[in-house]
Structure formats: structure tokens, C-alpha cells
Amino acid sequence: MQNALKNIFPAFSNELIATIEENGTLHDFEAGTILMRTGQYIKNTVLITRGKIKIYREGEDGGEFLMYYLQPGQACAISMICTSKSEKSQIMAKVVEDVSVMMIPLQMMDKWMMEHRSWYEFVIETYRSRFEEVLEVVDNIAFRSMDERLEFYLKRHSDACGCQEVKLSHQEIATELNTSREVVSRLLKKMEQRGLVKLNRNQIELLKLN
Amino acid sequence: MQNALKNIFPAFSNELIATIEENGTLHDFEAGTILMRTGQYIKNTVLITRGKIKIYREGEDGGEFLMYYLQPGQACAISMICTSKSEKSQIMAKVVEDVSVMMIPLQMMDKWMMEHRSWYEFVIETYRSRFEEVLEVVDNIAFRSMDERLEFYLKRHSDACGCQEVKLSHQEIATELNTSREVVSRLLKKMEQRGLVKLNRNQIELLKLN
DNA sequence: GAACTACAGTAACATTTATCACAGAAGGAA
DNA sequence: TTCCTTCTGTGATAAATGTTACTGTAGTTC
């Protein structure tokens, strides 16, 4: 186990790993579970050791908007930011592939920042990379049209899974981009005509993208 | 001077204030100055003691998109995040009202985090509030139409200045929302017809908003 | 006052995206 | 097979936003 954590978070010092083992608790959640809702209080910082979590924003009318995915070796920046004062979550977190997460009580957060250099650096880097990712999201919706955003979305997916196939229905994609299925279908069809993708049921093969 | 800083950043401990005085340098910049550009390396953390700075994202085509304003008592979260590894800035920062800023060399950042509790808390709170603000921006562009975004924009301005008048031309507003002047003019006219605002040259009075 | 400039209003039109309506195809279940 | 459900494709239309083009108005400068 200790080795497992060290493999997933190689930057952590051995003492830090030991401390995490001691104070954190490991939990498994199935795909579909909602780990966090808008407005909910946060009591733990979450480190992902397996699976995939989707972080998204929910509109008043129930629409969704994907911010980013969390994968093994990463942590939820929101949970880190909010824990320090037990603030409310501003986002939704949903498990998309069965996950294992290490939950760390919020009191540890401040303590470790002072005691463990590798924790401090990890936290700062988490803030930085998430902030950057959100800025990129802003760029996309502020400056790009739906066809560009769709391309970007597909690329991001294939980067994340390391393969050339995106196994999602048009409806699922539409939901994450907060648009309608028809729009996604039409744009994908155009991309297919341009030779960028090949469409199958519940699956999109990326050809010339990347 | 010591008192001045203490007034603007009341949460800072006296030792911290003294350390800032010792290591930071005070600079003045006129309205219009661009303090930071996308892609530029960051060498300092910036504390605002006077004036107003606009933080925005720039599109490839030169379009802008307002993220938020920085005012006295606040710090640039981006400069804090990036300094730790001397990363590149992802945003633009432009002075909109003559400012005085305290520049703190990046090496201090990490050091003070360990040594000064009030600095640590300030930094975490800065991260949190900016992240939240950016999430709100995402909400606005993802879920709201231009008329709602315009209302929100005007409210934010009047909150910031504490008055009921927004002294901006339609063109300036259009630029910050990344739309065209004609659209802003049209929507403002409709708002005037609904009795929400009163339009004058270079000035919009908010009536029923807030 | 005349000339100039920045700002504001508005009509006409183009484009993008959303919505409605429906049809057909793929796959699973009885 | 037949029935059902989910997914996909596509036309027609509506709504929101962007673009072009032109007019008028307020303030400034000469």
C-alpha cells in the first residue's frame, strides 16, 4: 500500500506518505456517484488514487458545464481551497470511472503545509494547474465557436485516455458543453466530412485531430 | 507608511508588515499601463495599495475578456501562483485607475508562507476568492445570455465603486464583454425602456438594478 | 461658427446556435 | 421474429448575436 501511494504521488516525501497513511482514509466510489454538490460544505481534501472524477458547474436551469477531469495523482483544488475555512463548494464532482480516493481531514491541510515541503509544493502546483485549466475553459467559451470547442473537447478526451477513441454519445457530449444533441450531431457530421473523425454508435474515432 | 499598509491589510501581523516594508518596493503606475502580458514571466508578487487594476484574458484575434478587478487590499493571485516556479503569466493586467503597488520578490513568497501565519492565510484566501470569481465568470458566459451578462456587469461596477453611475462608453463595455458596441447599445436601450437604467453620454445611471 | 471627433441610435442583413419535429438504424429483451 | 429503447441524422424554423452601413448628436478645437 505504501508503495502504491508513493507510485501515484512520486513527489511526496516518505514521511509525508506515512503521515497520509496514518491520517487519511481510503474510500471507493462507483461511477455515477456524486461526491460533491454546489453549496455543500467540504470536510475533506481528496486525493485520487484510481479512476476518474468530473468537475463541473451546474446552472440554475439544471444545465451542466464541464470544467475538468481529475485523475490518479491529482487532488481536488476546490477541496483544498475551501477546507481552510470549511467553505461551501462552488462546484459539482461526479465519479465517471470507479474511483479510490484518499480523504484527508481538513485540519491536516494547514498542519502539513508547514511541516512537509513536498505537500506544500503539491498544493501550490494543484492550485496553479487548476487555475490555468479554468482559464483555458474561459478562453474557449469566450472566444471560440461551438465547432472549435467541440474539437478541443475531443482532443482533451483522447489526451486523457491516451487513445484515439472517444466512447460517448452525442447527448453526453452536448451536456458537457451545455448545448443540444442536434448541434453536436451536425457538427460531428461536418467533421466527418472533413475527414477529421469517423463516427460510430457511441464511439468517435479521431483521425486527423491532435 | 507602516500605518498605511496596516490600514490596507489589517489582517497582516505587525512583524509581517515590517518584513514587507523591508523587502518590498513601492511603485506607482498610471492608468493605461499594462503591468503584465500573456506569456510574460513573473518575478514579483503584487499587493495593491491604491487604484484599480483590470485582469483580463486576451484572445488570439485581439479580443479581450474581463476576469475581475483588483483593488486596494488585494493581491494578484496569478502572480502568487506563478512565482513559486517563475511560471509564465496566463493573463493580462492593465491599470484602469492610477495605482500604487508593493512588489515582493518571488523568493519571499515561500519563505513567508512558513514564517508568517497571516501571510499564509492571506494567500490561501486570495486563491479561494479569485478561483470563485473566475467560476462565476464561467457561469455567466456558459449559462447566461448577453442581456443578463450586461446587467451583471453593471451591477458589479456599481458595487465596486459604491455609486449608481457607471462612467464608461458602450464601446468600452462591449470590449470587456467581448461583443460589439451595437449589441451593447441595443441591450442598454431595452434596459432603459424597462426603466432599469438611464442613459447619458459616457455614463449610465442604474435605477432599479441592485 | 465651422470642422472635426468620439459617441450613440438604428435598420437591414448574415451567421450561429437553439428548438421542434420526425424518421431511420442499432442493439437488447421477450 | 417482434417489440422497445437508445442513439443518430436531418429539415424547418426561431431566436440571439454579429456585421455593415448610415445618421445624428455632443463636445472640442480651430
Same structural domain, A118 and A15: yes
pLDDT tens-digit map of A24-79: 999 999 999 999 999 888 889 999 999 999 999 999 888 999 999 999 999 999 88
Q: For chain A, where are the alpha helices, taking DSSP H only? A: 2-8, 14-23, 77-83, 106-115, 117-143, 146-161, 170-176, 181-193
Residue-wise pLDDT tens digits, B33-79 = 999 999 888 889 999 999 999 999 999 888 999 999 999 999 999 88
Q: Which three cell numbers stand for residue B75?
A: 493581491
- Tell me, what DSSP letter sits at residue A75? B
Q: pLDDT tens digits for A96-144?
A: 999 999 999 988 988 999 899 999 999 989 998 999 999 999 999 999 9
- Domain of A197? 145-206
Q: Which of A45, A91, A135, A148 to mutate to test the interface with B (most CBs of B within 10 A)?
A: A135
Q: Which chain B residues have a beta carbon less than 8 Å from that of A141?
A: 138, 141-142
Residue with cell 491532435: A210
Same structural domain for residues A129 and A149? no
Residue B63 makes CB contacts below 8 A (sequence gap 6+) with A142, A143, B178
Cα separation of A192 and A197, whole Å? 5
How confident is the model at residue A162, as a pLDDT? Answer: 86
Q: What is the CATH number of the domain that holds B155?
A: 1.10.10.10
Q: Cα(A77)–Cα(A46) distance, rounded to whole angstroms? A: 9
Nearest beta carbon to residue A138 from set B77, B85, B138: B138
CB contact under 8 A, A143 and B61: yes
Half-sphere exposure of B74 (CA within 13 A, CB side): 19
Q: Which nucleotides of C are covered by protein (CB under 7 A)?
A: 6-12, 16-21, 26-27
B81: number of Cβ within 10 Å? 27
| CB within 8 Å of A23: residues ≥ 6 apart | A104, A105, A108
Q: Quick check: A142 and B82 CB within 8 A?
A: no
CB A35 within 8 A of CB A44: no
Distance from CA of A146 to the nearest CA of B (A): 12
Task: Return the pLDDT at B4.
Answer: 86
Identity at A199, one-letter amino acid code: L
Number of structural domains (chain A) is: 2
Q: What is the pLDDT of residue A117?
A: 93
Three cell numbers, residue B144: 447566461
Closest CA of chain A from B157, distance in Å:
20
CB contact set of A164 (below 8 Å; sequence gap of 6+)? A158, A205, A206, A207
| pLDDT value at residue B149 | 97
Task: Among A107, A126, A142, give the residue marking a domain's end.
Answer: A142
Residue-level pLDDT, tens digit, chain B, 210 residues: 546 899 999 999 999 999 999 999 999 999 999 999 998 888 899 999 999 999 999 998 889 999 999 999 999 998 887 765 657 788 999 999 999 999 999 889 889 998 999 999 999 899 989 999 999 999 999 999 999 999 999 999 998 888 999 999 999 999 999 999 999 999 999 999 999 999 999 999 999 866
Question: Is the pLDDT reported for residue A84 higher than 60?
Answer: no
Which CATH number fits the domain that encloses residue A7?
2.60.120.10
What integer pLDDT is reported at residue B90 of this predicted model? 84
Minimal C-alpha gap between A124 and chain B (Å):
7
pLDDT at residue A85, as a whole number: 63
pLDDT value of residue A83: 61
Residues of chain A that touch chain B, judged by Cβ-Cβ distance less than 8 Å: 57, 59-61, 63, 65, 67, 77-78, 81-82, 84-85, 87, 90-91, 110, 113-114, 120-121, 124-125, 127-128, 130-132, 134-135, 137-139, 141-143, 178
**Length of chain A as a residue count:** 210
Q: Which of A100, A124, A142 is the last residue of a domain?
A: A142
Nearest CB to B82 within list A61, A81, A128: A128
Q: Is the minimum distance from the CB of B145 to strand D below 7 Å?
A: yes
Q: How many CB atoms lie within 10 A of CB B72?
A: 16
* Shared domain check, A95 and A13: yes
Query: In terms of domains, do B169 and B92 share one?
Result: no
Nearest Cα to Cα of residue B142 among A34, A14, A149: A149
Q: Where are the beta strands (DSSP E) in chain B?
A: 25-29, 34-36, 44-58, 64-70, 92-105, 165-166, 197-200, 203-206
pLDDT the model gives residue A4: 86
Q: Indicate if B125 and B153 belong to the same structural domain.
A: no
Distance B31 CA to C14 C1' (A): 38
Pairing of strands A203-206, A165-166: antiparallel
Residue A72 to residue A85: CA distance in whole angstroms: 26
Residues A125 and A160 reside in one and the same domain: no
Task: Give the predicted TM-score (pTM) of the model.
Answer: 0.91
A75 and A123 together in one domain: yes
Residues A130 and A152 in one domain: no
What is the rounded average pLDDT for all residues in chain A? 92
Neighbours of A39 (CB within 10 A): 10
Q: How far apart are CA A124 and CA A113, in angstroms?
A: 10
A106 and A86 within one domain: yes
More confident residue, A90 or A31: A31
Footprint of strand C on the protein (CB under 7 A): A 145-147, 178-180, 182-183, 201; B 169-171, 181-182, 185-186, 188-189, 199, 201-203
A66 CA vs D12 C1’ separation (Å): 31
Mark A172-195 as b/e (b = at least 16 C-beta within 10 Å): ebbbbbbbeeebbeebbeebeeee
**Residues B47 and B86 occupy one common structural domain:** yes
User: How far, in Å, CA of B8 to CA of A63, rounded?
Assistant: 40
- As to burial, measured by CB atoms within 10 angstroms (0-12 exposed, 13-18 middle, 19+ buried), residue B209 is middle
Same structural domain, A196 and A161: yes
Looking at A142, A165, A183, the residue that finishes a domain is A142
Residues B136 and B156 in one domain: no
- In this complex, which residue's CA is closest to the C1' atom of nucleotide D20? B182
Q: How far is CA A50 from CA A30, A72, A101, A163, A207, in A?
A: 11, 5, 7, 18, 29
